[in-house]
Amino acid sequence: MDAIIWEGNRLRLLDQTKLPGTIEYIECNDYYTVAEAIKRLSVRGAPAIGAAAAYGLVVGAGQIQTEDPKVFLEKLESIAGELGATRPTAVNLRWALDRMMLRLSSAGEKSVQELRDILLEEAHAIYNEDVESNRRMGEYGQQLFPDEVRVLTHCNAGALATAGYGTALGVIRAAHERGKKVSVYADETRPLLQGARLTSWEMVQEGIPVTLITDNMAGYLMSQKMVDCVIVGADRITANGDVANKIGTYGVAVLAKYHQIPFYVAAPLSTIDMNLSSGEQIPIEERDAREVTHHAGQVVAPDGVKAWNPAFDVTPNGLVTAIITEKGVVQPPYTENLKKIFRDKKQEEV
């Protein structure tokens, strides 16, 4: 199931808030619809947000009515600002928009129509490269798994959270495709249940054995020696290897350390923010308290109660066994080894 579809010059986004019950696509005829879809988590997951915003910028470019390239670029910059402000933690969003704008600024003198065409080409490149990165990550990551493995994951880092195939779930998929006996425990992931609604759905569709648990069961699961490793995705990784991911990830990492279970993070280089030296600098999105006080539209807390709703937490690098990227598996010390992986990538591009 594709989260993002560009077809016949139209953008359609799968409304993930309705899964697994209803499969419905949102038609995005203007960039406000894309921005709204990102804000309300119709499209979610760091790489998917980046690709959706890139296409959102293409849609926005079509709304700008001018033939003057300078005016066009000014208006586009403002649309990129609006799209970029929709969710603060996933760095892929800013990364994709910056890449789109940079491509235009390095294009030289072009007509407005040519600039629009370049934008679409770049959005396709971001999308296609993400799928390719996930497949590579899958190949590297699956080598860390023994032939028979029970894996715990948190939130949804699958095909739905990316342009396709998935990061953490991509590694699980790759292991399964290579004939390894993989079974998955999926944390339900309160408050919005991405684990229950999306991860377990993806695994069922794929025929990979999955068992759903509530978030507070992970400790007992580990104490019963029912899990061999943890693998999660990421929304932003800083230069020292600290990892921001869905709220609850930190708790799982602490439990994994205590139980001496490897804790892996799978993420493309577009999720690694080398401009931030540590996780304390990552902006953490706080969402509406109603997501905590309500469940499926029903109130589950007394009227007037205060609720706190940070959408992400930060797992310190010391709890991370390895970071799986499309360029290989990065081991500690992260400050040194992440720098090296970016240096190698730059050399490859020359």
Ligand X SMILES: CSC[C@@H](O)[C@@H](O)C(=O)COP(=O)(O)O
Is residue 233 within the footprint of ligand X (CB under 6 A)? yes
Find the shortest distance in angstroms from Cβ 44 to ligand X. Answer: 3
Residue showing tokens 């309500």: 294
Instruction: Judge whether 219 is annotated as a binding position.
Output: no
In eight-state DSSP terms, residue 106 is T
What is the radius of gyration, based on Cα positions, of the chain? Answer: 20
Question: In terms of CB distance, is 120 or 268 closer to ligand X?
Answer: 268
Stretch that binds ligand X, among 39-47, 52-60, 66-74, 135-143 (CB under 6 A): 39-47
Contact mark string toward ligand X, 87..116, x via CB under 6 A: ---x--------------------------
Closest approach of Cβ 38 to ligand X, in Å? 9
45 assigned ligand-binding residue: yes
Number of residues forming the site for ligand X (CB under 6 A)? 18
Give min distance, CB of 172 to ligand X, in A. 12
The reply on whether position 79 binds ligand X by CB under 6 A is: no
By CB under 6 A, which span of 61-69, 93-101, 125-133, 153-161 interacts with ligand X? 153-161
181 carries a ligand binding annotation: no
If binding is defined by CB under 6 A, does position 167 make contact with ligand X? yes
DSSP for residue 196: I
Of 91, 234, 261, 338, the one binding ligand X (CB under 6 A) is: 234
CA distance 167 to 153: 11
134 labeled binding residue: no
Minimum Å gap between C-beta 147 and ligand X is 25
At 341, phi and psi to the nearest 5?
Answer: -65, -35
In angstroms, the CA 39 to CA 31 distance is 12
Q: Does 3 bind ligand X (CB under 6 A)?
A: no
Neighbours of 262 (CB within 10 A): 15
Give the residue with the Cβ less far from ligand X, 35 or 119. 35
In this complex, which beta carbon is closest to ligand X, that of residue 22 or of residue 224?
22
44 is in an annotated binding site: yes
Q: Does 155 bind ligand X (CB under 6 A)?
A: yes
Query: Residues 282 to 321: which contact ligand X by CB under 6 A?
Result: 311
Catalogue the active-site residues. 235
Position among 246, 250, 253, 334 found at the interface with ligand X (CB under 6 A)? 246
Binding site for ligand X (CB under 6 A): 41, 44-47, 90, 155, 157, 161-162, 167, 194, 233-235, 245-246, 311
Binding site for substrate: residue ranges? 44-46, 87, 194, 245-246
Binding site: residue ranges? 44-46, 87, 194, 245-246
